[in-house]
Amino acid sequence: MSMDKKIEDKRWIKPKHLKIILPAIALIIVVLLIVFRDTTSTFKVEKDKITIDKVFKGPFMDFIRVTGVVEPISIVSLEALEEGRVEKILIEEGSLVKKGDLILTLRNENLNMSFTDGKSSYAYLTNEMNNQLIEVKQQEIANKQELLALDNDIIDKQRKLDKTSRLYAKGGVSEEEYLVLKSSYETALKNRTLKQQKMVLDGQLRDNKRSQIELKMLMVKQQLENMNVKAPVSGQLGTLDVEIGKSITKGQQIGKINVLTSYKISALIDEHYIDRIRKGLTADFERETDTFRLEVIKVYPQVNNGQFKVDFRFTSVLPKNIRTGQSYNISLQLGETQQAVQVPRGGFFQSSGGQWVFVLSSDGSYALKRTIKIGKQNPQNYEVLEGLTPGEKIITSSYDIFGNNDKITFK
């Protein structure tokens, strides 16, 4: 009887092992899929619904465009020098005026009454001044008469003294008689000197009194004259905020006069540029075939509603038929032109603040979010300081529809 030979199973993987290996492989595959899957949040968009531009390197012109409005080179305020009610308006808004032209008249009953009441009236002061002049003339005549009498008395005393002196020298008269005549003569000379001094003092007093009257007359006359509002300079009456019967207070601004000897241009600029705008920067604008050049002459420090004001003056000839209120698109140069990496302006900046962009893959099938750094900007392009290289493409249209997704795929 022969014995059966046991056949040895030489397979590496036996059926019993498959029960363990196959589930393990499946588990590994699942783990790998979880670990290496693309977790990037994705948004699908039609490619023809967005704008794609290429990153490039070239000359970057550092300028901005602003809208400037023509203004007079200066504006002079028109103010009331006295209070009163508007009685007449002789010149209307927009009219050309010359310095000293009467624009309107005011009336102040209290002021008029004070001028016609007693010693405050112009007529009273004028009459007092006339009386002063008459008094001066009369006093001058009286003084001349007194001086003439004193001179005659001195001559008479001197004649007697000379005669007595000769007699006294010969012993013909007593010493007492000689001394009396000498004292009388010397007293007459002193009296004349005192009279002259008194005449000078009286004249000074009269002059002072006359000066006071003249000053009062001038003040009264000026107050009356101030009721007539006149143009302080030649120009165009830009505004006139009055009407017949309206009450005006002293010092109140009632209008403006535009000085038309030259013009300036004023513009409102975004506060983003306030640290870069300074006096002396150059600008220009085109009108028809001509280019007109400007220079910043004043930067206003106040910021209102996110804007600040800048004034320009012309450094070239003025445009023909220039008018107040005209507007021009001005190119304001902020710095020198330099080579720089750039991207075209677009709505992406408002969405990302220029801190990141969507950069297209090399095959253009998708775009990924990438952090970048934007430098200067002009009306056409943004300067790129970091994050992009020339030749790459980015989405430059608005990102608002993309939400918070980091990857954009194209349908």
On whether the 42-62+338-410 domain is CATH 2.40.50.140, my answer is no
CA distances from 130 to 123, 133, 306 (A): 11, 5, 67
Pairing of strands 373-377, 84-89: unpaired
User: Which pLDDT value is given to residue 118?
Assistant: 46
User: Which pLDDT value is given to residue 120?
Assistant: 55
Q: Could you give the CA distance from residue 358 to residue 348 in angstroms, rounded to a whole number?
A: 9
Class of domain 63-108+231-335: mainly beta
User: What mean pLDDT is predicted for residues 117-132?
Assistant: 66
Whether 42-62+338-410 shares its CATH topology with 63-108+231-335 is answered: no
What is the tens place of the pLDDT at every residue in 350-390?
999 999 999 999 999 999 999 999 999 898 999 999 999 99
Among 58-62, 73-77, 186-190, 211-215, the minimum mean pLDDT is found in 211-215
Which of 23-27, 34-38, 293-297: highest mean pLDDT?
Answer: 293-297
pLDDT band at 114 (very low <50, low <70, confident <90, very high): low
Nearest by Cα to 339 from 64, 63, 62, 57: 57
User: Which pLDDT value is given to residue 187?
Assistant: 92
User: Which pLDDT value is given to residue 266?
Assistant: 97
Residue 3 confidence (pLDDT) above 90: no
* Mean pLDDT rounded to a whole number for the chain: 86
Among 22-36, 72-86, 107-121, 127-141, the minimum mean pLDDT is found in 107-121
Q: Could you give the CA distance from residue 177 to residue 284 in angstroms, rounded to a whole number?
A: 106
User: Which pLDDT value is given to residue 315?
Assistant: 94
Q: Could you give the CA distance from residue 7 to residue 143 in angstroms, rounded to a whole number?
A: 173
Which of 14-18, 27-31, 36-40, 174-178: highest mean pLDDT?
Answer: 174-178
User: Which pLDDT value is given to residue 14?
Assistant: 57
Residue 1 confidence (pLDDT) above 50: no
Percent of the chain whose pLDDT exceeds 70:
88
Residue 321 confidence (pLDDT) above 90: no
Residue position matching structure tokens 């990438």? 370
Q: Could you give the CA distance from residue 361 to residue 371 in angstroms, rounded to a whole number?
A: 15
194's CB contacts (< 8 A; 6+ apart) are none
User: What mean pLDDT is predicted for residues 39-65?
Assistant: 90
CA distances from 235 to 76, 104, 311 (A): 9, 16, 20
Residue 116 confidence (pLDDT) above 60: no
Question: Can you give the residue ranges of every domain in the chain?
Answer: 42-62+338-410, 63-108+231-335, 109-226
pLDDT band at 332 (very low <50, low <70, confident <90, very high): very high
Residue 219 confidence (pLDDT) above 90: no
User: What mean pLDDT is predicted for residues 258-274?
Assistant: 93
User: What mean pLDDT is predicted for residues 244-259?
Assistant: 92
Which of 142-151, 160-169, 311-320: highest mean pLDDT?
Answer: 311-320
Comparing 263 with 108, which gets the higher pLDDT? 263
